C-alpha cells in the first residue's frame, strides 16, 4: 500500500499542487495537535484530480493553488464530498478555511480575492483589531460589545473583515458527527491568531468539549452569504455560512445603528453607521439580515424589514408597544401597495412620504434606503422629476451604507438621478391609468 500511495502522490501533486494523503487504514483515528479527527472511509486521496471537469485549463496550468486541501478532511460520497481547504495568506495574511466540495474549491481558487495579493491591501483598516473610533468593552447583561469613542455619522466606516470559516450550506446534508469533525479540523488549521479570535466568540451557553464549542460558535455567529468570490457558481448550488470574528464583536439589535454588506469580489464584510452614533453609545447590527434573505427570493425591491423584531425602545410601556405594533402593521400594508405595479395599486407619493415618517418613528435606520427608493419611484411615476431626484439622492446616500455601492437598487437610483425623464419609471402610473381607460 505504501508504494501505491507514493505513486498516487506523484500523479496528483504535479496537477494540483495540493498536499493530500491517504491513511493506510480508512476510518482510522489520528491525533493531530489539539483535536482528534476521523478520516472518512469515503474520503478521496485526490478529490481535485477526480473532479477533473471543475478544473479549467487556466486554473490547472497555474503553478500552485492558493487553497490547500487539509489532509484527511473529506467526508461524504463521491458525488457529494466536502473537504476542508485553507489559505494562510488570505486577507492580508489573516488566513481562512473553507468547508466545501472539490468542485467549488477549484472555482474559489480562481477568485480575484485569492489570486491578487494586492487586492486586500486597498481595503480600509481590513481585519484591524483596534480602531480609534471604537473600543471593545464589557457591557452589563450583554458580555462584550463595541462602544463608540468618537462621533460616527451616516456612512462612516466602522470595520471591515474577511471571514475565518466559510461553510458550504451542503454541510447540513452530512451526518452531524461528520459535520462537527470537519468544522473542528477547519478551525484547528486556522493560523494561531485567527484561531484564538474564533474560539473566543460567544456560545451563549455552556459547552463541554472543544468540538461542541466550535459548533455553538458557528451556530450563533454565522452570517448567510449568497455568493463567495467573483467566479460564478453553477446555477442551483446552495449558499454559504461565514463567521467573521471581528464583526461578531458587535451585538444584535432589531433597530441597529450600523449595517453590514458583503462584497463577494474581495470576500469582505463591511460595516458602516446608518445614523449618527455618539461617544459612549454601543454600535449594533442586526444579525437577521433581511436584505440578503430577500435577495435569495427575488431580485426586485421588496420589504427589507424583519417584522419579527419587537419594539426594543418602548421601555415596556404598553401604550408605546401598541403604537409601535400599529405602525408596523401600517408599514406592511403600504409596502404591499408599493410592490403592486398594477393600476389597482393605491400607492402615491404621499403614501411614500408617510412610509418615510413611519420608518423614522420606528427607528428603522438601516432600512431608510428602501423607503427613499419607494418615494423616488412614486414621484417619478407621476412625473415629479425634481422630487424623484431628491429622494433618489437620499436612497443612494443611505444605500451605500446599508447595502453597498454596487447594489442593483443603488445603481437604479443613480440612473434615475442622471435622467429621470428617460428612466423606465417616468410617468409609469399615469401611463398605466391612461392605458386602462
Query: For the segment 351-398, what is each residue's pLDDT rounded down to a tens digit?
Result: 999 999 999 999 999 999 999 999 999 999 999 999 999 999 999 999
Using DSSP, state whether 60 is helix, strand or coil.
helix
C-alpha distance from residue 257 to each of 147, 282, 338, 400 (Å): 12, 9, 26, 14
| Alpha-carbon span 342 to 349, nearest angstrom | 16
The share of the chain scoring above pLDDT 90, in percent, equals 60
Grid cell in block for residue 58: 487556466
Those residues whose C-beta lies under 8 Å from the C-beta of residue 394, and which sit 6 or more positions away, are 368, 372, 376
Choose among 150, 363, 352, 129: nearest CA to 247: 129
Residue 258 in this model has a pLDDT that exceeds 50:
yes
| Alpha-carbon span 47 to 24, nearest angstrom | 17
Which string of DSSP letters, residue by residue, matches 299-361? SS------TT---TTSTT-HHHHHHHHHHHHHHHHHHHHHH--STT----HHHHHHHHHHHHH
Instruction: For each of the domains in the chain, give its residue range(s) and CATH number, in order of start.
Output: 2-287 (2.170.270.10), 318-436 (no CATH)
Per-residue pLDDT at 231: 84
| Alpha-carbon span 107 to 54, nearest angstrom | 7
Query: For the segment 169-206, what is each residue's pLDDT rounded down to a tens digit?
Result: 999 999 999 999 999 999 999 999 999 999 999 888 88
Beta bridge partners of 98: 85, 166
Grid cell in block for residue 356: 418615510
Residue 236 in this model has a pLDDT that exceeds 90:
no
Grid cell in block for residue 296: 435569495
Those residues whose C-beta lies under 8 Å from the C-beta of residue 175, and which sit 6 or more positions away, are none
Per-residue pLDDT at 206: 86
What pLDDT band is residue 288 in, cutting at 50, 70 and 90?
confident
CA max distance for the chain: 84
Query: For the segment 306-331, what is each residue's pLDDT rounded down to a tens digit?
Result: 444 656 656 567 888 899 999 999 99
Query: For the segment 23-58, what is each residue's pLDDT rounded down to a tens digit?
Result: 233 333 333 333 333 333 333 333 443 333 333 333
Query: Would you give the DSSP letter of residue 233?
Result: P
Choose among 251, 237, 38: nearest CA to 145: 251
Higher pLDDT, 269 or 77: 269
Per-residue pLDDT at 289: 53
Which string of DSSP letters, residue by residue, matches 368-405? HHHHHHHHHHHHHHTT-HHHHHHHHHHHHHHHHHHT-T
Q: What number of CA atoms fall less than 13 Å from residue 232's CA on the CB side? A: 3
Output the pTM of the full model. 0.80
Amino acid at each position: 500500500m505504501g508504494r501505491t500511495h507514493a505513486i498516487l502522490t506523484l500523479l496528483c501533486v504535479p496537477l494540483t499542487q495540493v498536499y493530500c494523503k491517504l491513511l493506510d487504514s480508512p476510518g482510522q483515528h489520528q491525533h493531530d495537535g489539539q483535536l482528534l479527527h476521523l478520516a472518512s472511509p469515503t474520503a478521496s486521496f485526490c478529490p481535485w484530480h477526480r473532479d477533473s471537469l471543475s478544473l479549467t485549463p487556466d486554473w490547472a496550468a497555474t503553478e500552485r493553488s492558493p487553497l490547500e486541501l487539509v489532509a484527511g478532511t473529506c467526508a461524504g460520497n463521491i458525488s457529494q464530498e466536502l473537504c476542508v481547504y485553507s489559505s494562510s495568506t488570505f486577507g492580508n495574511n489573516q488566513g481562512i478555511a473553507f468547508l466545501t466540495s472539490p468542485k467549488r474549491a477549484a472555482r474559489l481558487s480562481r477568485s480575484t480575492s485569492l489570486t491578487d495579493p494586492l487586492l486586500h491591501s486597498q481595503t480600509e483598516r481590513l481585519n484591524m483589531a483596534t480602531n480609534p473610533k471604537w473600543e471593545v468593552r464589557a457591557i452589563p447583561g450583554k458580555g462584550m460589545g463595541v462602544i463608540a469613542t468618537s462621533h460616527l455619522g451616516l456612512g462612516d466606516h466602522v470595520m471591515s473583515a474577511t471571514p475565518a470559516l466559510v461553510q458550504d450550506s451542503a454541510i447540513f446534508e452530512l451526518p452531524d458527527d461528520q459535520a462537527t469533525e470537519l468544522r473542528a479540523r477547519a478551525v484547528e488549521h486556522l493560523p494561531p491568531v485567527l484561531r484564538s479570535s474564533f474560539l473566543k466568540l460567544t456560545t451563549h451557553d455552556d459547552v463541554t468539549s472543544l468540538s461542541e464549542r466550535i459548533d455553538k460558535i458557528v451556530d450563533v455567529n454565522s452570517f448567510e452569504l449568497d455568493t463567495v468570490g467573483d467566479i460564478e457558481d453553477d446555477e442551483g448550488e446552495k449558499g454559504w455560512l461565514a463567521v467573521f470574528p471581528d464583526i461578531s464583536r458587535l451585538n444584535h439589535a432589531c433597530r441597529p445603528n450600523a449595517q453590514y454588506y458583503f462584497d463577494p469580489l474581495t470576500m469582505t464584510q463591511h460595516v458602516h453607521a446608518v445614523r449618527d452614533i455618539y461617544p459612549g453609545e454601543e454600535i449594533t447590527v442586526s444579525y437577521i439580515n433581511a436584505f440578503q434573505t430577500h435577495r435569495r427570493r427575488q431580485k426586485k425591491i421588496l420589504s427589507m424589514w424583519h417584522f419579527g423584531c419587537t419594539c426594543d425602545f418602548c421601555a415596556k410601556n404598553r401604550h408605546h408597544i401598541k403604537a409601535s405594533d400599529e405602525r408596523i402593521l401600517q408599514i406592511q400594508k403600504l409596502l404591499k401597495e408599493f410592490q403592486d405595479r398594477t393600476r389597482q395599486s393605491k400607492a402615491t407619493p404621499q403614501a411614500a412620504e408617510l412610509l418615510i415618517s413611519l420608518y423614522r418613528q420606528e427607528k428603522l435606520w438601516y432600512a431608510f434606503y428602501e423607503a427613499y427608493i419607494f418615494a423616488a419611484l412614486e414621484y417619478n411615476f407621476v412625473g415629479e422629476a425634481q422630487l424623484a431626484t431628491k429622494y433618489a439622492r437620499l436612497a443612494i446616500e443611505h444605500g451605500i451604507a446599508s447595502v453597498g455601492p454596487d447594489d442593483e437598487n443603488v445603481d437604479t437610483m443613480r440612473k434615475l438621478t442622471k435622467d429621470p425623464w428617460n428612466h423606465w419609471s417616468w410617468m409609469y402610473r399615469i401611463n398605466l391609468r391612461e392605458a386602462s381607460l
